[in-house]
């Protein structure tokens, strides 16, 4: 296997952006995301894919996940230019975000492969701070036996890279690791949410359920 010399073999990175939007602003917000923002981000060197999700239960209504070859992708000139010099359409819609949450994370303890249509996001309780990686590996090994399991991984936020969005409050902002499980059906996601919560001694109700809207792979861009 070969790797881009600018982005050597390393843990994948992921940009996690969740937000609510006022109903009146949703049509243009969704149009911006679907027609400009996803492609714009995925074209940045080092980005592998971008995907949009909508909440089924809990969490903010909209979630965007962008996978990168490594965390190094968030320190490049190309990324800084995109982040610091937003388009006019981006500025308008970033200002429309309500209670946004931006995290730049390392993707750890990956179990399984592929992309599921359903997503479970479990913010880890403080009691897991000592050994989240070991718990995530063990949880993945157990959960992969559940019908409908696709993949699981741990998102570990990077404090230096997880700068807040314009509308994101810095008060009480906790960079909590998140355990993510992808599933093929809603029924499987419900079962996997319960299993993930048990593995981390968490309340199942604290986990958010999302459904995939659409995804774009960098390999699909011309």
- Report all structural domains of the chain as residue ranges with CATH numbers, in order of start: 13-216 (3.30.70.100)
pLDDT at 7: 35
Closest listed residue to residue 13, CA positions, set 110, 123, 136: 110
Whether residue 122 contacts residue 199, with contact meaning beta carbons closer than 8 Å, is answered with: no
Residue 108, CB-side half-sphere exposure with 13 Å CA sphere: 20
Phi–psi pair at 51, nearest 5 degrees: -145, 145
Phi–psi pair at 187, nearest 5 degrees: -65, -40
- Stretches in the chain below the pLDDT threshold 70: 1-10, 129-130
Residues β-bridged to residue 19: 62
pLDDT at 127: 75
Q: pTM to 2 decimals?
A: 0.93
Q: CB under 8 Å to 131, separation ≥6 — which residues?
A: none
Spatial separation of the C-alpha atoms in residues 145 and 138, rounded to whole Å: 12
Q: Hey, which bits of the chain come out as E strands?
A: 13-21, 47-57, 62-68, 97-112, 118-123, 149-157, 178-183, 208-217
pLDDT at 195: 97
Token pair for residue 62?
Answer: 């909209």
pLDDT at 174: 87
């Amino acid at each position: 296997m070969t790797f881009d010399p600018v982005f050597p073999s390393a843990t994948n990175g992921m940009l996690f952006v969740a937000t609510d939007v006022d109903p009146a602003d949703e049509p243009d917000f969704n149009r911006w995301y679907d027609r400009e923002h996803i492609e714009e981000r995925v074209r940045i060197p080092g980005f592998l894919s971008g995907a949009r999700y909508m909440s089924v239960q809990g969490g903010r209504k909209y979630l965007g996940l962008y996978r990168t070859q490594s965390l190094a992708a968030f320190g490049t000139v190309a990324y800084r230019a995109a982040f610091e010099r937003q388009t006019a359409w981006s500025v308008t819609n970033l200002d429309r975000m309500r209670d946004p949450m931006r995290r730049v994370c390392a993707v750890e303890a990956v179990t399984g492969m592929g992309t599921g249509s359903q997503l479970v996001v479990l913010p880890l309780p403080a009691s897991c701070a000592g050994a989240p990686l070991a718990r995530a590996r063990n949880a993945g090994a157990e959960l992969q036996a559940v019908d409908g399991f696709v993949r699981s991984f741990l998102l570990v936020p990077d404090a230096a890279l997880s700068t807040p969005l314009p509308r994101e409050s810095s008060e009480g902002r906790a960079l909590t690791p998140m355990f993510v499980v992808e599933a093929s059906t809603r029924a499987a996601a419900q079962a996997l949410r319960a299993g993930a919560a048990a593995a981390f001694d968490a309340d199942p109700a604290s986990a958010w359920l999302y459904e995939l809207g659409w995804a774009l792979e960098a390999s699909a861009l011309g």
